[in-house]
Structure 1
Amino acid sequence: MTTKLPVLGAALSIKSLPAHRDWLLERQRDLEIQDFFRADLLDSDWRGTAREIKAMLDGHTGRLGIHGPFWGFKIDSHDPMIRRAVTKRLLQGLEVAEFLGATQMVIHSPYTTWDANNIDMLPDNREALIERVRATLTDVIASAEQANCEIVIENIEDKNPQDRVGLAKALGSSKVRISLDTGHANYAHHSTGAPPVDYYVDAAGDMLTHVHLQDTDGYADRHWAPGEGNIRWVAVFRALAKLNSNPRLILELRNHDQVRAGAAHLASLGLAE
């Protein structure tokens, strides 16, 4: 366990990177690239975009990750044909990650608000969901292990913070870990009766290696800068301080111009640098 304050990073795109380059390099902050979840880019000259990003990051030695593809699919599809398409998309994401030298890729949790009330209605539902995810991710996990790239599963609608943890553990790879989106958890807390955000940290424990920091009002997925919503940041960072896994703390804001303001707010509370 460390006593020094964690250093914040950010989720940025090729368009917003130049404005924050000096801020990233001054502390060698962790960075998540958010261009390569787009299907149109993955199916076109993604290497050209990736080369531009690599040039922008000359001198950056912080930890690098990407947000993997997620639009238009879930990783637990019942349809084998759809699962093959999802596998292909995620393998494309890993190819990008390896090209960039990224060591983490974010993917989305399969658990829905519906699941919270219905998954245990039939005795085999929970295990069947895990097996569908396993069928989708087997080749992806093998590639991630070969590329030394961690796959982190981010909460979206998850009401029970233990669901993702159980899924990640069941997949049986050191390269499958947990991501927490604070705003998604806060939405689930206020709108669907889930526990507060710090409970999600505690539930994941040292399986948690990635955090999207964003604030909300608990009603919608705002992606506001910390301080604009109602998340209890002191409680969140108190929970994070218990961990030994050193998660990447990534400001993921809708308005990338607000990254430094969000970081300054958390710094003003004495929570991070």
Structure 2
Amino acid sequence: MTELPLLGAAMSFRDLPGLQDFILTENRDLELQDFIEATVLEGGWKPLADKVRRLLAGYTGRLGIHGPFWGLNIATPDPDIRAVVTRRMLQGLEVCEYLGATQMVIHSPYTTWDFNNLDNFADRAAYDRVLQNCQATLAEPVRRASDIGVTMVVENIEDKDPDIRRILADSFNSPAMAVSIDTGHSHYAHGSTGAPPVDYYVRRAGNRLEHIHLQDADGHADRHWCIGEGTIHWPQVFRALGELTSNPRLILELRDKSDILRSAAYLNRLGLAR
């Protein structure tokens, strides 16, 4: 990277009025987090989307949404549950198409239990079953995403193995599937389950990384603290990001949205981002 990378942010439409200048002045990447709930997706989401459109008048940045995830496992082996998960993913993509969003975050199916147990079975059979279940769940959504120009990025949740989501994304052989990293989730896995540090996750994702949630944490829980309040080694994270050519969206995902500007200022003072 020849200049400091430009930060974006994740927020609800309710937070957007107070952060319009931050987002719109430089057309920063924006991730909307209003469309994760089944009640929203089933209850008539277009009026909400229209409010977002009005708030983003003139915006030309890269827009994304966080897709639905509560209670949804993309690797479920149950065909009845799978049908619900598939429908929710398609509903999220419908929102993307309506808003002109080009990215949707979905959650990894891999657990800490998986890390310790998938190798219990011969010939990687358990690994293959997870991939097959994900492909059955996401086959139609991936085709739809490809048709409308959306990339679904798979975010680490409990993932202890930094390679496993890249392998999952690659198994679809489609540009509509890529990798996301949440720095706080990686740091939790590092501190609490013995996973590698955050910068290793970045390097192992390589140019399949197209999205990153930036949050600070203590390695014990999913804190979503202001950048600088936790123990993540940010210079190393941004050094690894600087080796990529995939231009991932750098999304500040903080519990307190008033910390977005403070976090951006902190990273700017360190000479890491703007």
Shared fold (TM-score, shorter chain, > 0.5): yes
CA distance in 1, matches of 2:44, 2:258: 27
Task: State the shift of 1:165 in Å.
Answer: 0.6
CA distance in 2, matches of 1:268, 1:62: 24
CA distance in 2, matches of 1:83, 1:136: 6
Q: Does residue 255 of structure 1 match 2:245? A: no
1:224 is paired with a residue whose SS is coil
1:260 is paired with a residue whose SS is helix
CA distance in 2, matches of 1:265, 1:200: 22
Task: State the shift of 1:24 in Å.
Answer: 0.7
Match of 1:9 in 2: 8
1:116 is paired with a residue whose SS is helix
Task: State the shift of 1:188 in Å.
Answer: 0.2
Match of 1:60 in 2: 59
Match of 1:267 in 2: 268
CA distance in 1, matches of 2:24, 2:175: 29
Task: State the shift of 1:197 in Å.
Answer: 0.1
2:83 is paired with a residue whose SS is helix
2:258 is paired with a residue whose SS is helix
Match of 2:75 in 1: 76
CA distance in 2, matches of 1:19, 1:166: 39
Residue 193 of structure 1 aligns with an amino acid whose one-letter code is G
Deviations 1:168-218 (A, max 9, x none): 101111110000000000000000000000000000000000000000011
Deviations 1:29-70 (A, max 9, x none): 000000001111101120000000010000111100000000
Q: Does residue 96 of structure 1 match 2:80? A: no
Q: Structure 1 residues 99-108 or 114-123, which shifts more?
A: 114-123
Deviations 1:136-181 (A, max 9, x none): 0000001000110000000000000000011110111111000000
Match of 1:143 in 2: 144
Once the two structures are superposed, the pairs formed by residues 119-158 of structure 1 within 5 Å of their partners are 119-123=118-122, 124-158=125-159
Task: State the shift of 1:228 in Å.
Answer: 0.6
Match of 1:20 in 2: 19
Match of 1:215 in 2: 216
Deviations 1:89-143 (A, max 9, x none): 0000000011000000000001000001001111200011000000000000010
Q: Give me the TM-score of the superposition, normalised by structure 1.
A: 0.99
Residue 31 of structure 1 aligns with an amino acid whose one-letter code is L
Residue 49 of structure 2 aligns with an amino acid whose one-letter code is A
Residue 121 of structure 1 aligns with an amino acid whose one-letter code is N
CA distance in 1, matches of 2:159, 2:225: 20
1:137 is paired with a residue whose SS is helix
2:195 is paired with a residue whose SS is coil
Q: Give me the TM-score of the superposition, normalised by structure 2.
A: 0.98
Residue 69 of structure 2 aligns with an amino acid whose one-letter code is F
Q: Does residue 204 of structure 1 match 2:214? A: no
Match of 2:233 in 1: 232
Match of 1:51 in 2: 50
> Percent same amino acid among aligned pairs?
55
CA RMSD of aligned residues (A): 0.6
Task: State the shift of 1:3 in Å.
Answer: 1.6
CA distance in 2, matches of 1:166, 1:142: 18
Residue 19 of structure 1 aligns with an amino acid whose one-letter code is G
Residue segments in structure 1 that go unaligned for 5+ positions in a row: none
CA distance in 2, matches of 1:138, 1:175: 11
1:228 is paired with a residue whose SS is coil
2:106 is paired with a residue whose SS is strand
The number of aligned residues is 272
Residue 269 of structure 2 aligns with an amino acid whose one-letter code is S
Residue 133 of structure 1 aligns with an amino acid whose one-letter code is C
1:210 is paired with a residue whose SS is strand
1:253 is paired with a residue whose SS is coil
Deviations 1:59-85 (A, max 9, x none): 111100000000012100010111110
Residue segments in structure 2 that go unaligned for 5+ positions in a row: none
